[in-house]
Amino acid sequence: MSNLKEALKAYISEERVVKMTEDMIRIESYYGIPNQETGVAKYIKSMFDASGIPCELKEVADGRCNVIATLDSGVPGKTMMFNGHLDTVEPNGWEEAFEPRIVDGIMYGRGTCDDKGPTAGLIEAMLALKESGELKKGKIVFTGVLDEEHNSIGTIDVIESGIQADAAIVAERSFFEIRNCQRGLEWLKFHFTGKTVHGGYLHDGINAISKANKYINAVEQKLAPKIFGRKHPTLNEAMVNIGIIHGGTQLSTVAGECDLYIDTRYLPYQKYEDVVGEFQELIDELAAEDPQFKCEMSVCEEAALKEGYVHAPFEIPEDHPLVTMLSDVIADVTEKETVITYMKSWTDAGLLNEFANIPTVVLGPGGENPHADDESVPLEDLWNIALVYAMAAVEFCHS
């Protein structure tokens, strides 16, 4: 493997991967920008076009495009998918968010580690493989996707387009750790309906905030212990968090409506229907006890995926060939023992693994404070992760 590392290092351009990251940061791609991610997609296509790697833009919705590129050796072998997302979160008051700067070997800017830096690593790996000719069997499919930060319509479109792969690497910040599993996620909204009256006629009203409080107490006392009691050897436990509550209009009025929002995270061995069903069962139980208890549960609009899809968990075994191969590659490049652990946040890896049946891991460089006003990535990590991706593709496709 060291021979492959030395052969590819000569083609990994440190200057190019840094410049690609800087260039993509300057192209704003957060929610609300017209054709949000398409500017980044066009830039990536220009890089592949210049290298002679076949590439196309695929409009998914409202002028927003995925970018798909394929490096095919021309010899039968396995297919590796590289997946990176083109959108970022908003600047959120960070005035220099889209003006990348480098200080002491660290690049700062929106998207440095989530996810333009990791995605640049994928692109650099493919450019280096094209130039070196080291991919002698199989092919690599790059899927640069939109909307990961919201409803994941980009990766869903990749799945529905029928793109096939034997394995996938989702590029996200992981500090070179192999993230071989993640929890599933759902954001639930609970709308409580009471009866609005003037506070002077208190007993003629039905306070929706009080009903929401009753549900909160039931979640904390009855459901939360069950949820946190579910264990996993790597993911530790399932989770639930009561995140937001809104109710009432003014102090002198009995609140006729109240909205409650709950985030729940579940384990790979759980079924989505069972997870959501537990919250509904608690509603039904309280309604049976209290005729005035009225609550409707729904999935939060900002978290709702296309019909038929959910924020699925994923897990592949530590002894899966993809994981063992990556462990060897990472150890060779970093000269450190590889860590195999879980992804704390949700990623599109859950979609690829669950709905496309593609064994998937999350792997990327280090970096600090994604979504914050000092998001960053070490330059050395950009170079090394590109080498890891390139070596991993060769080892997997040739196997």
- The two domains 2-182+313-398 and 184-303 share their CATH topology (first three levels equal): no
184-303 domain in CATH 3.30.70.360?
A: yes
pLDDT-based confidence at 283, cuts 50/70/90? very high
In angstroms, rounded to a whole number, what is the distance separating the alpha carbons of residues 309 and 313?
A: 12
Q: Is residue 142 a contact partner of residue 291, using CB atoms and an 8 Å limit?
A: no
User: Mean pLDDT throughout 13-26?
Assistant: 98
| Predicted confidence (pLDDT) per residue in 83-123, tens digit | 999 999 999 999 999 999 999 999 999 999 999 999 999 99
Cα angle 26, 370, 368 (rounded to 5 degrees) comes to: 105
List Cα–Cα distances, 9 to 16, 21, 131, 306, in angstroms.
13, 19, 12, 41
- The whole-number pLDDT of residue 2 equals 74
| Centroid of chain to Cα 37 | 16
Q: Note the pLDDT tens digit of each residue in 155-205.
A: 999 999 999 999 999 999 999 999 999 999 999 999 999 999 999 999 999
Query: Going by C-beta distance under 8 Å and a sequence separation of 6 or more, which residues neighbour residue 305?
Result: 151, 152, 156, 311
For residue 141, what are the β-bridge partners? 70, 81
Q: What residue spans define the domains of the chain?
A: 2-182+313-398, 184-303
13's tokens: 């351009």
Q: How confident is the model at residue 1 (pLDDT cuts 50, 70, 90)?
A: low
**Tens of pLDDT along 161-171?**
999 999 999 99
pLDDT of 302: 86
The residues, ordered by sequence, that sit 6+ positions from 220 with a Cβ below 8 Å of its Cβ are 242
Distance, CA of 335 to CA of 384 (rounded, Å): 11
pTM over 0.85: yes
Cβ-based burial of 40 (10 A; exposed 0-12, middle 13-18, buried ≥19) = buried
Neighbour-count burial of 221, counting CB atoms closer than 10 A to its CB (0-12 exposed, 13-18 middle, 19+ buried): exposed
Among 3, 5, 2, residue whose Cα is nearest residue 390 = 5
Section 253-261 average pLDDT: 98
Torsion angle of the four alpha carbons 175, 178, 181, 182, in this order, in degrees rounded to the nearest 10: 10
CATH class of 2-182+313-398: alpha beta
